[in-house]
Amino acid sequence: MLGENGVPAFSKRMKRAIEEAFYRKFAASNSVPDIPPKVLGAYVASAHFGLIEWWLENDLAYSPAYMAGPVCRMIRSGTGPEASSCAV
């Protein structure tokens, strides 16, 4: 379903689902970013999806619990002191 020989429609739907989840969390946070939410959402969805593809292509090289830590830190980097305190 993913990768070079994957189904393009699946990839688009997966990215869209990630974007929508981001928008729900973003709306609940009442944050006012200096980056338009649509731009931020597209970036987050592409980054997450790309990382999922990499993880699957590399035979789940790390556990889901392990992957959650670096992903959290990558998402929060640049957003303040809480970037280093991602609790998983």
pLDDT in tens, 5-33: 778 889 899 999 999 998 888 888 887 77
pLDDT at 76: 76
> By the 8 A CB rule, do 73 and 86 touch?
yes
Tokens read off for 59: 């035979």
* 88/11 Cα distance (integer angstroms): 27
> By the 8 A CB rule, do 10 and 2 touch?
yes
Burial class (CB in 10 A: 0-12, 13-18, 19+), 19: buried
pLDDT at 61: 94
pTM above 0.85, yes or no: no
The percentage of the chain sitting over the pLDDT mark of 90, rounded to a whole number, equals 35
The domain segmentation of the chain, as residue ranges, is: 1-57, 62-88
79, pLDDT greater than 50? no
Overall average pLDDT of the 45-59 stretch? 92
